[in-house]
A and B are shown apart, each in its own frame.
Chain A
């Protein structure tokens, strides 16, 4: 029982490694599907832009609100801009964007591909002499790698606006001071740190969601199982890799 479980996990890991290898191998060996790539960029952006803006604004505002009350004690409200900027750029934006996109894009991808698998549509793609990985997975992976960091950038920008509003209207901080500190403390390197994280997360989201979709079996129930499994695993691996990346960065 226990050993079977371990054996299954090792098998799954092996399958995943092979899958990732195939994704990149076929990217190099077959003609890139540019129109699908554009289509998925558009889809991922359209699916998630509004929720990213909404969440970014309130995350920034709440963070500003909380940290402002602490800084008030030390009469250091002016530092709010800088503190929010750093926290948003390096940690909050990539993590929350990653979680949102796992729920929004990852689940949709797994459900769509899993449905295609259980309805034999993926076999039909193969039967017509087309590689399902090259057709379904590769364009999604590359579209995600470009659009997801962009969405993360939007989150950072809107988040700063949220915290600015909190600072100006709740703690009556001077706008000049807010931005002066923001620019002084938060540097472009922080933004790069955050975007780079999101770039990593984008592969976790796209590769895992496609992998779980392709592995699905057994009707509507199988699609449901694959989808929850996929989202939970994506969240876990985002958290783990966030820790690892941050650890490497600090050292």
Chain B
């Protein structure tokens, strides 16, 4: 349902994406791998239309995101939920107001219904009793989980998670991974796109894995294909070694 066709993205002189071709199937969990600075966050921002490709096309549900009108874009985005890498919570609003924001904008729930939903998603991410706090005083992991709750609260059709577990302890990591899996199971039409560094979780979680290297897809396939791949770049990423074909500038 989401296609990247020959997408390049250039910032100044820096070519981040270089003819990226990608297919993200509907109703599955697709995992995006790649070393830091490789353009993973840039890639998912293209899906949301938050960035436009320098050349090439991003197609969502048969439509070119770059050609959508403002109201088409708003409509598409209201069906999407996105967790930003740094949570991107509104720091002038409480946790409750943050999570209610997308509900208030696109739905006509009564206040008690909204409060119910907020409490429910907060429970799902393992946070209680923080509704009235401001994001500024939360820990990084807590912010991230509030961001996750905000992405989940509208029951979106597409969920984009930018490193949902980075910076959290192993127990919370496990909880979040299970949550991503549970939400996806509960809703067979839900398309999940997860950016992650955690190889073990990646293999357990994903239906499809995409490895980005040098602005292109190095390998796309099932976890099984990744485990048995002889591609030296994939092998190096799995082993976690600095020495190898992948260059670290």
Contacts and interface: CB of A to CB of B under 8 A. Distances in A.
Chain B interface extent, by class: 20 to 34
A120 B106 CA distance: 21
Interface of B: 45, 48, 50, 70, 73-78, 80, 82, 84, 86, 88-92, 101-102, 105-106
Given A123-B45, A123-B50, A128 B88 contact: no
Contact of B84 (A115, A124, A129): A124
Contacts of B105: 128-130
7 contacts: A116-B90, A121-B88, A123-B84, A126-B48, A128-B101, A129-B102, A131-B70
B90 A121 contact: yes
Nearest to B86: A120
A111 to B, nearest CB: 12
Contacts, number: 50
A123 B102 contact: no
B88 A124 contact: yes
Of B75, B88, B92, which is in contact with the most chain A CB atoms at under 10 Å from its CB?
A: B88
Interface of A: 112, 115-116, 119-121, 123-124, 126-131
A120 B88 contact: yes
Contacts of B74: 129-131
A127 B49 CA distance: 8
A129 B75 contact: yes
Contacts of A115: 91
B26 to A, nearest CB: 20
8 residue pairs, one from A and one from B, having the closest CB atoms: A129-B78, A129-B77, A124-B88, A120-B88, A129-B74, A128-B102, A127-B82, A123-B50
Contact of B77 (A112, A120, A121, A127): A127
Contact of A126 (B77, B86, B91, B101): B77
A124 to B, nearest CB: 4
Contacts of B88: 119-121, 123-124
Contacts of B84: 120, 123-124, 127
Contact of B91 (A121, A123, A129): A121
Given A129-B78, A130-B105, 10 more contacts: A112-B92, A120-B84, A121-B89, A121-B91, A126-B77, A127-B80, A128-B78, A129-B76, A129-B77, A129-B102
Contacts of B91: 115, 119, 121
A127 to B, nearest CB: 5
A30 to B, nearest CB: 9
A175 to B, nearest CB: 48
A206 B30 CA distance: 44
B240 to A, nearest CB: 29
